[in-house]
Structure 1
Amino acid sequence: MNAAPKVLLAAAAAAAALAAPILAQQRGGARLPAECRAEIVKLCGTDRAQMRTCLREKYAELSEGCQSALRERMGTRGGQGAAPPRRIAATSWAEFVSQRVSSTVIYGSHDRQQVDIYTPDDAVGDTPLVVFVHGGGWSIGNRSAVQAKPQHFKDAGYVFASAGYRLLPDTPVEQQAADIGAALRALRAQAETGGFDPERIVLMGHSAGAHLAALVATDPTYAGDAFGAIRGVVLLDGAGYDVPAAMATPTLEMPNLYRDVFGTDPTRQKALSPITHVGGKDAPHWLALYVAERANSKAQSEALIAALGQAGAQAEAAAINGTDHGRMNRELGTEAGAAQTEAVDAFVERVLG
Structure 2
Amino acid sequence: MNIAAKALIAAAAAAALAAPILAQQRGNARLPAECRAEITALCGSDRAQIRTCLREKYAELSDGCAKSLGERMAARRGNGEGARRGPGMRAQGGVGQYASARISSTVIYGKDARQQVDIYTPDDAVGDAPLVLFVHGGGWQMGDRARVQAKPQHFKEAGYVFASAGYRLLPGSPVEQQAADLGAALQALRAQAETGGFDPDRIVLMGHSAGAHLAALVATDPQYAGEAFGAIRGVVLLDGAGYDVPAAIATPTMEMPLLYRDVFGTDPARQKALSPITHVGGKDAAHWLALYVAERANAKAQSEALMAALAKAGKDASALAITGTDHGRMNRELGTEAGKAQTEAVDAFLARVFG
TM-score range, shorter chain: 0.7 to 0.9
Counterpart CA distance in 1 for 2:295 and 2:349 is 23
Alpha-carbon offset, residue 30 of structure 1: 7.3
Alignment of 1:7-22 (within 5 A): none
Alpha-carbon offset, residue 52 of structure 1: 11
Alignment of 1:130-279 (within 5 A): 130-279=132-281
Other-structure match for 2:297: 295
Per-residue CA shift, 1:222-262, capped at 9, x if unaligned?
Answer: 00111011000000111111111111111111110000000
Q: More displaced, 42-51 or 121-130?
A: 42-51
Alpha-carbon RMSD: 3.4
Counterpart CA distance in 2 for 1:331 and 1:69 is 20
- Work out whether residues 32 and 68 of structure 2, in 8 Å CA contact, stay in contact via their aligned partners in 1: no
Other-structure match for 2:39: 40
* Equivalent AA in structure 2 for residue 314 of structure 1: D
Structure 1 SS opposite 2:159 = coil
Alpha-carbon offset, residue 70 of structure 1: 4.5
Other-structure match for 1:317: 319
Show structure 2 runs of 5+ residues with no match.
1-12
Alpha-carbon offset, residue 190 of structure 1: 1.0
- Work out whether residues 33 and 69 of structure 1, in 8 Å CA contact, stay in contact via their aligned partners in 2: no
Cα distance change, pair 311–54 in 1 and its aligned pair in 2 (3 A): closer
* Equivalent AA in structure 2 for residue 203 of structure 1: L
- Work out whether residues 98 and 149 of structure 2, in 8 Å CA contact, stay in contact via their aligned partners in 1: no
Alpha-carbon offset, residue 91 of structure 1: 7.0
- Work out whether residues 44 and 54 of structure 1, in 8 Å CA contact, stay in contact via their aligned partners in 2: no
Per-residue CA shift, 1:317-343, capped at 9, x if unaligned?
Answer: 111111111111111111111111111
- Work out whether residues 133 and 165 of structure 2, in 8 Å CA contact, stay in contact via their aligned partners in 1: yes
Alpha-carbon offset, residue 98 of structure 1: 3.4
Alpha-carbon offset, residue 54 of structure 1: 9.2
Counterpart CA distance in 2 for 1:332 and 1:68 is 20
Alpha-carbon offset, residue 176 of structure 1: 0.4
Counterpart CA distance in 1 for 2:285 and 2:266 is 29
Structure 2 SS opposite 1:233 = strand
Counterpart CA distance in 1 for 2:20 and 2:125 is 44
Counterpart CA distance in 2 for 1:160 and 1:271 is 30
* Equivalent AA in structure 2 for residue 38 of structure 1: A
Q: 2:127 aligns with which of 125, 128, 139?
A: 125
Structure 1 SS opposite 2:288 = strand
- Work out whether residues 56 and 328 of structure 2, in 8 Å CA contact, stay in contact via their aligned partners in 1: no
Other-structure match for 1:104: 106
Counterpart CA distance in 2 for 1:69 and 1:331 is 20
Cα distance change, pair 273–153 in 1 and its aligned pair in 2 (3 A): same
Counterpart CA distance in 1 for 2:306 and 2:66 is 39
TM-score, length basis structure 1: 0.82
* Equivalent AA in structure 1 for residue 254 of structure 2: L
Cα distance change, pair 253–96 in 1 and its aligned pair in 2 (3 A): closer
Alpha-carbon offset, residue 103 of structure 1: 1.0
Alpha-carbon offset, residue 269 of structure 1: 0.4
Alpha-carbon offset, residue 68 of structure 1: 11
Show structure 1 runs of 5+ residues with no match.
1-14
Identity %: 75
Q: More displaced, 95-104 or 316-325?
A: 95-104
* Equivalent AA in structure 2 for residue 168 of structure 1: L
Q: How many pairs are equivalent?
A: 328
Counterpart CA distance in 2 for 1:228 and 1:163 is 19
Per-residue CA shift, 1:164-202, capped at 9, x if unaligned?
Answer: 111111110000000111111111111111111111001
Structure 2 SS opposite 1:344 = helix
Counterpart CA distance in 2 for 1:154 and 1:318 is 24
Counterpart CA distance in 2 for 1:235 and 1:276 is 17
Alpha-carbon offset, residue 38 of structure 1: 3.2
Alpha-carbon offset, residue 147 of structure 1: 1.0
- Work out whether residues 147 and 330 of structure 1, in 8 Å CA contact, stay in contact via their aligned partners in 2: yes
Alpha-carbon offset, residue 104 of structure 1: 0.8
* Equivalent AA in structure 2 for residue 191 of structure 1: A
- Work out whether residues 32 and 69 of structure 1, in 8 Å CA contact, stay in contact via their aligned partners in 2: no
Counterpart CA distance in 2 for 1:125 and 1:104 is 17
Structure 1 SS opposite 2:200 = strand
Alignment of 1:55-66 (within 5 A): 58=59, 61-62=60-61
Cα distance change, pair 193–304 in 1 and its aligned pair in 2 (3 A): same
Counterpart CA distance in 2 for 1:40 and 1:28 is 21
Other-structure match for 2:354: 352
- Work out whether residues 62 and 142 of structure 1, in 8 Å CA contact, stay in contact via their aligned partners in 2: no
Other-structure match for 1:9: none
Cα distance change, pair 123–265 in 1 and its aligned pair in 2 (3 A): same
Structure 2 SS opposite 1:98 = coil
Counterpart CA distance in 1 for 2:326 and 2:200 is 33
Counterpart CA distance in 1 for 2:56 and 2:242 is 24
